[in-house]
Amino acid sequence: MSIQPGETLPDIAIQVIDRETRSHQTGALFAGRKVLLFGVPGAFTPTCSNKHLPGYVAHFPEFQARGISVMCLAVNDAYVMQAWAAAQQVPAGLLMLADGNASFTRALGLELDGTAFGMGLRARRFALYAEDGVVRLLQVEAPGELRVSTAEAMLAAIDG
């Protein structure tokens, strides 16, 4: 079962990329702040690269104006996430989270078995809004869709 609104995000070590890579505990990373975390099945994959991440890059100033930090999670290594951030011109402050072993993704209960597509274990496409490490809103996409986890949908849901 996946994490639900009202529950605290798990505290797991993860690689955070924001121009450089550092290891952080997610408990400390989410503490004391408003966070929009969105998960994608993989860096450099078509929907993730052409629509999902670019939407958050385009709307990043709107999240900042609301005092919300934005983070992108993928089950990829830190080097891939750093290269993807550079290729997508991700602005400083929009954090890329490299969950190479899917530890955080599994702790969230939002893993996806992509072995049939040669991808192994990945994150489901989702977005969540948390305050001080507590989930307030969770949107998980149906397979093959990109509707409820877009930057536009999350801004509307948060403002709603």
SS3 percent helix, strand, coil of the chain, rounded to 5, is: 35, 30, 35
When pLDDT is averaged across residues 52-74 and rounded to a whole number, the result is 98
- The rounded percent of the chain whose pLDDT value lies above 70 is 100
- Name the token pair of 56: 């958050």
Known catalytic membership, residue 72: no
**Which pLDDT belongs to residue 1?**
84
User: Please, what are the domains in the chain?
Assistant: 13-159 (3.40.30.10)
**Which pLDDT belongs to residue 115?**
84
Check whether 87 has a pLDDT greater than 80. yes
Residue 103: burial class (beta carbons within 10 Å; 0-12, 13-18, 19+):
middle
Instruction: Quote the pTM value.
Output: 0.96
- Which among 101, 105, 107, 102 is positioned nearest to 10, based on CA atoms? 107
Pick the catalytic residue from 17, 29, 40, 48. 48
What mean pLDDT is reported for the chain? 96
* pLDDT digits 0-9 by tens, 102-119: 999 999 999 998 888 878
